[in-house]
Chains A and B, each alone.
Chain A
Amino acid sequence: MAKVKKSVNADPDPVIKITPVKTSAAAAVTTTSVVSFTQTLQKTLEAYKSSLTPKFALIDIFLGFLVALGALQFVFCCLVGNFPFNAFLGGFISTVGQFVLTVSLRLQFDDENRVAIWKGQGKEMKWRAMGDYIFASLVLHFIVYHFIN
């Protein structure tokens, strides 16, 4: 259940490394905070990598792609002008909406959230989440394609 927590706690080295730095001179306080930040980042990345399954990787790549596509359309709109504004809204909302739906799918796929969301029911429920996701996405695209014209 507490797979992520486990993996974080499994590596206690960073905490030990920080301790001697803290005891050094006050002038090194800034260095300390930078170091602790990079270490925190590193730790987060490691935690992320360790918990990454191929499906989560797939979801995250898709999310990144949606962000890039949304940003591209937004920049284009800023540069060229918002003339077919409904078309811009359609295109942009399509990426944003898909992003939101995919994030919610990712949450439901996470075993750690199973207690909160599924009240401890079986892992099969995540395929129900997948079904919801597909249905909601189809509704979203249906609306977008009507709105874009």
Chain B
Amino acid sequence: MFINGLRVLAFATSLLSVAAVSVTPRNDTLILFDPKLLADDAFTASQFSELYAKLTNELHYNVHTKSYADLSAKSDDAKFELDFANHRYANLVLLPTSLKKLPKLSAGKLLDFVNDASPELAQQANVFVVSSPKHVNDDFRAFLNELGIYPAPKNHRVVDHFNYVDVEASKHDLLRLPLVSGENLVANQHIVRDLDSILYEGSAALISNSPLLIPVVKASRTAYTANSKDAADVWALGSQANLVVAFQGAENNNRVVWLGSDALVGNEFLVAETSNSQLVTDLLRWCFQETGVIKLADASLTQTHPARDLKISDEVTYAITLALWNPATAAWEPFHTTDLQLEVIMLDPYYRVFLQEAEETASGVVYSRTFKLPDHHGIFKFLVDYKQAGLAFVRDEIVRPIRHLANDEFPRSWELTNAWVYISGAVTVVVAWFVFVVLMLYSDDGEKKVLVEESKKDI
């Protein structure tokens, strides 16, 4: 049944199958690491072992690891290139690397990876990029810049003299961010749940005003981002610096998350702070399309009085069914919202109305609205374009012609109360005219009398 559903979705809209794929919690996930930056030779014993354990044991991904060294220009790993191009891996985790150039993971290749994942083939391509202040790879930077994320230059760190953790020889760059919704944590329940406070140590990024970007964690207002080697070299001030940024592709819902800190996914923080661990879990789940995934189960346009085609001013009902993926129960759940809008468009929107929750069915929540079509004929588009930060984008478009009335479909004049006055006027004229004619023909001929009188006078 699920397979069947998948197929329907894939045809319905390009977004859907992406959503549905995350049903399988065993997506292949590739972690790319730099052995030079590891504390141990084996990745599973390094400072990222907790991240590895989280991905395999907690989130149940099919995790592969690979060293950046194997991708350097000299090595000839044709298999990886083929796997990468064929979307063998649904998710990439890019840990920091000291390598300057990575031709096999250039900005263009990463963009293609995210862009080309074909929802029709049930592919998805999500990238979880972790930056480190010390090591910023040029290819990753170019890739992030394409999305509108501009990480700070090398060696820049976020410093805060108010919210730091007091350790020996502190430079006030180990921060305790009070995750206050609306300040550090950008209010968005779809990505990260409310957390107490987190530890942070690392870099920051500025972001463009692209609507596809969602800032998740920002620096405090008292923080600033400066060169750790030259304190006067300040790069960003206060909350304009973003510490965690999320991105969702407009066409295929593929997701990218950028973290400014490798410490955030390191064992030390993950073990020390529960809220840090929760933050990383939430970010991974969102990035790998498990949370914030809604699917369009059904959309329909029906007439109150069914007819062969739509005509102007007909009463119609538009209904759309949406469901939300719950990774905990691995099932589609009802998706409740109040901000779903329908547009009835012919070049311009004629209507833009809110859809109301009608009922809850097995396949999701049905939102519907009954309304009269515009008094205008033409080819109309019934469009739901639901784009909310943190949620998969849902777009449904029904194109239907609305015809004008045929000449025998206009209401007759006696059906219109206004016309009753004029009809009774016309009837009265006829009746009065008939009475008049009868009287004229059969009334007493006064003319004779006048003539008689006249003749009398003449005499």
Residues in A lying within 8 Å of B, measured CB to CB: 3, 53-55, 58-59, 62, 65-66, 69, 72-73, 76, 80-81, 83-84, 86-88, 90-92, 94-95, 98, 102, 130, 134, 137, 141, 144-145, 148-149
Contacts and interface: CB of A to CB of B under 8 A. Distances in A.
Given A69-B429, A95-B429, A58 B440 contact: yes
A145 B425 CA distance: 11
B433 A90 contact: no
A147 to B, nearest CB: 9
Interface in B400-459: 412-414, 416, 418-419, 421-423, 425-426, 428-430, 432-433, 436-437, 439-441, 443-447, 449-450, 454
Main secondary structure of the interface of B (DSSP, over half): helix
Contact of B443 (A58, A76, A80, A92): A58
A53 B447 contact: yes
Interface string B182-226: 000000000000000000000000000000000000000000000
B447 A87 contact: no
Contact of B425 (A55, A58, A91, A137): A91
Contact of B450 (A53, A65, A90): A53
B426 A145 contact: yes
Contacts of A130: 437, 440-441
Contacts of B416: 83-84, 87
Given A73-B422, A95-B425, A148-B423, A141 B413 contact: no
B432 A65 contact: yes
B413 A53 contact: no
A67 B422 CA distance: 14
A87 to B, nearest CB: 4
Interface in B55-89: none
A27 to B, nearest CB: 44
Contacts, number: 91
A55 to B, nearest CB: 6
Nearest to A98: B429
Interface of B: 412-414, 416, 418-419, 421-423, 425-426, 428-430, 432-433, 436-437, 439-441, 443-447, 449-450, 454
B218 to A, nearest CB: 59
Nearest to A10: B457
A93 B10 CA distance: 64
Contacts of B447: 53, 55
A38 B347 CA distance: 69
12 contacts: A53-B449, A55-B445, A62-B436, A69-B425, A87-B422, A91-B421, A91-B425, A94-B425, A95-B429, A141-B430, A148-B413, A149-B412
A147 B437 CA distance: 24
B238 to A, nearest CB: 62
Contacts of A102: 436
Contacts of B419: 84, 87-88, 148
A91 B413 CA distance: 12
A84 B413 contact: yes
Nearest to A76: B421
Contacts of B449: 53
A28 B209 CA distance: 90
Nearest to B428: A69
Contacts of B445: 55
B146 to A, nearest CB: 59
Given A87-B416, A87-B418, A148 B426 contact: yes
- Counting from the closest, the 9 A-B pairs by CB-CB distance are A91-B422, A54-B446, A87-B419, A91-B425, A53-B446, A84-B419, A87-B422, A94-B426, A87-B413
